Amino acid sequence: MSWQVRTLLVVPCLLLLAPGCGRSAPNTERGRGDTLDQLEPFGLAAVLTSAFGASASGSVELAFEACDAAGKGIPFALLELNWEEGGRTAFQTDESGTIRMLFHASALPGDATVWVRILPIGHSFIAVERDDAWRPLTAGRVRISVLPGH
């Protein structure tokens, strides 16, 4: 299934998250303020469609915060994007567990499944390959905040 088709199927679920719509999709929750909490791996294209739908700007900035079960930010977590066309990239969060990304409506990057991976504190890239050491986030969430674009 192409990402465009999948986006069309997922967007109505995300629109239910708009204020006043009353209920959330089972793997999402409303966070604090204008945030959206993802409890499971999620599609980037659907999040972008929702974010651009609520913005008059041609670009949006998304802050992704990796949180543990208690809602506390996880320092130096890795936000992994598993691209539909192939390949995986992961970007390290800062000390607060947050990484910010910018998207332009005129050049969206295609779809990816997004989730968080964790490397043990003190992991040595010399001693152990990353793929043998990192683990997906469990019992946590990714909190997404939509910020005004540039």
Partner 1 sequence: MPGHARDRGAEDEPLDLTDDLYHRIKAGLFQPTREPLVLRLTRAGEDGREVPARGEYAMFSRDEGSFGVRSDDHGAIVVHMDMEAALSHLSVNTPRDRGLVREFHEDPRHPIR
Site residues (vs partner 1, CB under 8 A): 61, 76, 78, 80, 83, 85-92, 94-95, 99-104, 107-110, 119, 121-126, 129-131, 150
Please, what is the minimum distance in Å from the beta carbon of residue 33 to partner 1?
Answer: 20
Q: How many residues can be counted in the chain?
A: 150
Nearer to partner 1, 30 or 130 (CB): 130
Nearer to partner 1, 25 or 112 (CB): 112
Please, what is the minimum distance in Å from the beta carbon of residue 69 to partner 1?
Answer: 22
Q: Alpha-carbon distance 27 to 141, whole Å? A: 10
User: Cβ(77)–Cβ(94) under 8 Å?
Assistant: no
Nearer to partner 1, 21 or 128 (CB): 128
Beta strands in the chain, from DSSP E residues, in sequence order: 28-30, 35-38, 42-43, 59-67, 78-83, 88-92, 98-104, 112-118, 135-136, 141-148
Please, what is the minimum distance in Å from the beta carbon of residue 137 to partner 1?
Answer: 15
Please, what is the minimum distance in Å from the beta carbon of residue 138 to partner 1?
Answer: 19
Nearer to partner 1, 29 or 61 (CB): 61
* DSSP code for 94: -
Alpha-carbon distances of 111 from 33, 52, 68, rounded to whole Å: 26, 15, 25
